A and B are shown apart, each in its own frame.
Chain A
Amino acid sequence: MHNIANTFMLMLEGTQTTLQIFSITLILSIPLGLLISLARLSPLRLISRLVEIYIWIMRGTPLMLQLLFVYFALPMVGIKLSDLTAALFAFTLNYAAYFAEIFRAGIQSINRGQYEAAKTLGMSYPQTMQRIILPQVIRRVLPPISNETINLVKDTSLIYILAMNDLLRVARTIVQREFDMTPFVIAAVFYLVMTFVLTWLFKLLEAHYGKYEV
């Protein structure tokens, strides 16, 4: 009995690391992704091209490789980051690229008439984006954002290669030490609970932002 309680406590600690990476990445990468999408839609070709290349690299290489690169390659050029910072750095840059493409699709899906109506009413571009376009974009991008967010919960398990004790690594350590599969089952349940809560949260958000629809 003592053993199970102990396992459970260790795994809760691992969950804390998982949630830490998850929440900080989310908080940083969503606004960053929005900015990147606006740059991607910039009429200045140079900016839009550069952003395109950035997105290509981030989506075109494994997140694991990006983690390793930040962790091992950056110190060689004199940039030394702590484990946590390195992980957050790689995760944020990677997820921002995906979020940027989601926001871009959302922004481009808004009818041109909305921009024209705002323009004929005298609204500036920032006002149009902030007050007219983005509130409608949020509603449309919630389902794909929810998808990516759930992916992020599970992707956090990649930090085991940086020797950080997240939920999955803790579970694996205990399994290897005790020859008992229970920690894997517990880990699965923990992940399911986290994704369940997220799914429910996004459902609330969709209802909130969708209240103007029939």
Chain B
Amino acid sequence: MENDIIIQMKNIRKSFAGVPVLKGIDLTVKKSEVLAVIGPSGSGKSTLLRCLNNLETIDDGSIQVKGDYLVQSRQGRAVYADKDTQKKILGYMGMVFQQFNLFPHMTVLDNLLEAPVHVKNMKKAEVLPVAEELLRKISLFDKKDAYPSRLSGGQQQRVAIARALCMAPDIMLFDEPTSALDPELTIGVLNTMRQLAQEHMTMIVVTHEMGFAHDVANNVIFMADGGIVEQGDSQQFFGNPKEERTKLFLHSMLK
């Protein structure tokens, strides 16, 4: 694995209506790393991910992706880059949501084609083979003309992953991708993510799937109350957690 840093977040602070939800988070992700972010609900893990791709703005701190600053700290305040730079940086990242958020009025294939054609201004004929290949990879090629409402939750989430991949991102962000799914439907989604990891995609995965975090992630971060309690490589993290809080959480998850 190459050792270059692709994401650097420093001292991220964020409050909602005066209530701090991120209390100075530092985070570094290397290229091809799979990082699992775990923690109880309300710990700020989803907010952290949403700050990284600008769905939320931070109050202080800096975020650097592929060497470009999305936001920098100046005199205790977060100062964002200009719109063009922001757009460029956000283009490095694909996002998968808990609720899939497929476009319901478009077929599966059109969901994949939409952004490459209308954001990157690529020709449809150019994107089509890429999109079809992605659909084959997630074993949903036969559903390409179906509307999302005809698919199961697990299938929708796989399409959402393919839709993000169709923009050829360097980094994939997953915000609790299996939390809205019935247990038997999570397997397909997790397998798709596992496959991505094997292809050396850089991934940050906010998840409750301890099995996935253990087996697939290189590193794990455990968050609680807006801070990082413990982090480490996944073998060490799960095999020999140091903090009492981590032990309690892992114990409760395994019950």
Contact = CB atoms under 8 A, between A and B. Distances in A.
Interface string B140-160: 000000011110000000001
B149 A121 contact: no
Contacts of A135: 105
A120 B95 contact: yes
A135 B147 CA distance: 14
B149 A123 contact: no
Given A121-B163, A123-B118, A132 B90 contact: no
B87 interface: yes
A113 interface: yes
Interface string B99-124: 10111111000000011001110000
Given A123-B118, A213-B149, A214-B149, A117 B103 contact: yes
A111 interface: yes
Which of A116, A120, A209 lies at the interface centre, i.e. has the most chain B CB atoms within 10 A of its CB?
A120
Interface in B73-111: 87, 90-91, 93-95, 97, 99, 101-106
Nearest to A124: B119
A131 interface: yes
A7 interface: no
B97 A113 contact: yes
Interface string A3-38: 000000000000000000000000000000000000
Contact of B114 (A119, A120, A131, A212): A131
B87 A122 contact: yes
Contact of B103 (A114, A116, A211, A213): A114
Contact of A121 (B54, B99, B105, B167): B167
Interface string A95-135: 00000000000000001011011011111000100011001
A212 B104 contact: yes
Given A120-B90, A121-B163, A127 B101 contact: no
Interface residues of B, number: 30
B115 A123 contact: yes
Contacts of A131: 114, 118
A121 B103 CA distance: 12
A122 B105 contact: no
Interface in B39-63: 53-55
A120 B173 CA distance: 10
Contact of A111 (B101, B118, B164, B167): B101
Contacts of A122: 87, 90-91, 115, 119-120, 167
Contacts of B99: 111, 113
Contacts of B94: 120
Contacts of B163: 121
A132 B150 contact: no
A123 B119 contact: yes
Contacts of B120: 122
Nearest to B83: A124
A132 B150 CA distance: 19
Given A119-B55, A121-B114, A212-B147, A139 B97 contact: no
Contacts of B90: 119-120, 122
18 contacts: A111-B101, A113-B97, A113-B99, A117-B95, A117-B103, A120-B93, A120-B95, A120-B164, A121-B114, A121-B115, A122-B91, A122-B120, A122-B167, A127-B118, A209-B105, A212-B147, A212-B149, A214-B150
